[in-house]
Every structure is written in C-alpha cells, then in structure tokens.
Amino acid sequence: MNDVEHDEAELEAGRLLFAGNCTFIAASNALTNLPPISLPEIAFAGRSNVGKSSLVNALTGRNTLARTSQTPGRTRQLIFFALANRINLVDLPGYGYAKAPKTDIKSWTGLTRRFLSGRQSLQRMMLLIDSRRGIGPGDKEMMKLMDEAAVSWAVVLTKMDKLKQSEKAALISKTEAGISRHVAAYPKVWATSSETGDGIAALRAHIAGLAIPT
C-alpha cells in the first residue's frame, strides 16, 4: 500500500501519533510478567533478520529505540513500548534462526504462541516478510497460528529498496493473493523500506487508526 492511497488527514494523524513520546515499558520472557493490559497493542513479528527492529525505529523516528543487530535471533523477549499514551508497540522474538539453541527456539516460540492466544488488547499483528525472500515456511506457520487464534494480522513487506522497480508490483500482487485464503488476514499489504522511508507514512496512518483517539 502506497502513501498516496491515504488521504492527507490520515497521513497527518499517523505523523502526529509517531511524533509523540515513545518509551520502553517492559521486556517479558514469560506470560506471568507481562505488563498489565492498558492500551491497544500492535505487535511486530517476522523471521529473524527480516528488519523488524529497523522498521520500528523508522516508524518512530528513533534510531536506537529497538535494538538492531547483525546477529539474527537476538530478540528473545516480548519488548513493549508505549506510544503517545495511545497505543503500545510490541516487538516479538524473531523466528527461523537455525543457529539458535533448540531449547531457546522452543522457549520463545512457545511464548509467542501463548501471547497471541491470550492477549485481549492485541489489535493487530504486523507480520514482516523480507521482500527478497517472499513468504517462507516459518511465515506460513505463523499465519496459520494467527488464524487459529483469531488474531487480525497484516503483511508488511520489508527491504523493498532491494528490488527492481519492475519486481515490486508483481510481488505485492502475489503476496495479496497468497494471504487472501486466510480468514484473519487484512486484505492489503504494506510495502516498506526502512532505508528510504517508502511506505512508512502509510503504515503509520494505518496504525494510528487503531490507537485510542485524541
């Protein structure tokens, strides 16, 4: 989805939301120490090294809010941020990192599953897909899990600047067709680049529509 598909009021609402104060709340490795439910929540999930932390930083305009690393699989907790006292952002552990210990993978995958099925404040899951890789087995498993948990989710394509212009429209169409069979999927996808800023304003506008109104 391009920025031009949103009207100026929606884009401005997104800009104002993400210009607000964004603060770290908690990092939880168990359901027993999750922060109490207060605001609506938007969660970000994706394969390790998909660019999740870079996207969160691009959305908020804060280069060090979410930790980026050259080591995939580093995020092993649910990390909560409060944005403008209107919505919480949740950074979920990445999946699909084969070099992580199997016990660690099982632990944080189980935590994500339990979070999805039991967090009433979760408004939408943003599922990040690397545009160069497309939808992989781990992504399909996550889609199935979200469908089963009745969690509304939407696809965000990352690293779109790495594609040729001629490849972009075809990838978006293919991705939208691929998610059309999923009952909990939002029908549109967001094509983004944390490097160039493409698609960031549109994604901000969408998330602003899920936040507590001002």
27-85 confidence digits (pLDDT tens): 988 888 899 999 999 999 999 889 998 999 999 998 767 654 444 444 578 999 999 99
- For CA atoms 208, 2, 90, 126, the dihedral sign is positive
162-178 confidence digits (pLDDT tens): 999 999 999 999 999 99
- Is pLDDT larger for residue 105 or for residue 130? 130
pLDDT bracket for residue 118 (50, 70, 90): confident
Q: Provide the CA 53 distance to its chain's centre, in angstroms.
A: 9
150-165 confidence digits (pLDDT tens): 999 999 999 999 999 9
Q: Which two tokens stand for residue 122?
A: 């979760």
pLDDT bracket for residue 102 (50, 70, 90): low
Distance from C-alpha of 114 to C-alpha of 131, rounded to nearest angstrom: 28
CA angle (204, 117, 83) in 5-degree steps: 30
The CATH class of 3-208 is alpha beta
The predicted pLDDT at position 178 comes to 93
The predicted pLDDT at position 114 comes to 82
Q: Where are the domains of the chain?
A: 3-208
CA angle (45, 46, 48) in 5-degree steps: 125
- Is pLDDT larger for residue 189 or for residue 94? 189
Q: What is the mean pLDDT of residues 113-137?
A: 92
pTM for this entry = 0.89
Q: Which two tokens stand for residue 28?
A: 């939880």
Distance from C-alpha of 73 to C-alpha of 85, rounded to nearest angstrom: 29
pLDDT bracket for residue 4 (50, 70, 90): very low
The predicted pLDDT at position 62 comes to 84
The predicted pLDDT at position 6 comes to 72
